[in-house]
Structure 1
Amino acid sequence: MDHKITTSGNKTTIAMSGRLTFDDQGTFRVMLKDLAEESGAEWLLDITPLEFLDSAGLGLLLRAKAIAEKEGKSIAMKAPTSGHVADIMKISQFHALIPFV
């Protein structure tokens, strides 16, 4: 997984690309640490560029939600509307856990 963190005003966007799997947990934890240090009170997880996501990747996204809540930040997700990742999001009903924008 590759990622880019940008902050504009009160919103911090985390754009993730590539694959988000069990193998990315170390990188993801470092990303969350960096993210917690950003000033934005609103986090937007942009997973539209992701090509692949598995159940471990879903768990990592839930970890981001837990960290956001611990840091007193709001969190939302921008998800693709078609393809593999969109299918996983629909099947898992992930919008019930992290709101989609």
Structure 2
Amino acid sequence: MDVKFEGGPGQVALSGEFTFSDHVSFKELVSRLLEAKQSQIVIDLSKLEFIDSAGLGMLLLVREEASKANGKVVLRGPHGQVKRMFDVTKFNTLFSVE
């Protein structure tokens, strides 16, 4: 998984594949996003090609951490396999998906 911070604090774009092997770097990413103290975290998934169940679980963790700080998470632009995973798991009921 590649990460780019863009669009201001609390906004990040992910690309490539998001799998269990990314859990350490994703935890660091979540810490950095939460340090920005934004009411909304935006994760752009438009360039993400693949996500596995561990990646979905990590998105749930960022949602939980953001809600502890009275924030919310917006997932932007999922497509292809990522969108299919969201459809199967009903992620649109847990997140704001744009």
TM, length-normalised to structure 2: 0.89
Identity %: 32
- When residues 94 and 25 of structure 1 are mapped into structure 2, their CA distance, relative to the original with a 3 A threshold, is same
Deviation at 1:17, TM superposition (A): 0.7
RMSD over aligned CA atoms reads: 1.5
Distance 2:82 2:14 in 1: 12
Cα drift, residue 40 of structure 1 = 2.4
2:82 maps to 1:85: yes
Q: Is residue 47 from structure 1 mapped to residue 50 from structure 2 by the alignment?
A: no
Aligned CA distance change for structure 1 residues 7 and 67 (closer, same or farther; 3 Å): farther
Question: Which residue identity lines up with residue 99 of structure 1 in the other structure?
Answer: S
Partner of 2:49, secondary structure, is strand
The number of residue pairs the alignment matches comes to 98
- Quick one: distance in 1 between partners of 2:25 and 2:69? 19
Unaligned runs of at least 5 residues, structure 2:
none
Query: CA separation in 2, counterparts of 1:88 and 1:4?
Result: 23
Distance 1:39 1:5 in 2: 15
Encode CA deviations 1:49-88: one digit per residue, 9 max, x unaligned. 111100000000001101111122122111324x111111
Aligned-partner Cα distance in 1 for 2:49–2:7: 24
Q: 4+ residue stretches of structure 1 with deviation over 6 A?
A: none
Matches within 5 A, 1:20-39: 20-39=18-37
Separation in 1, partners of 2:6, 2:70: 19
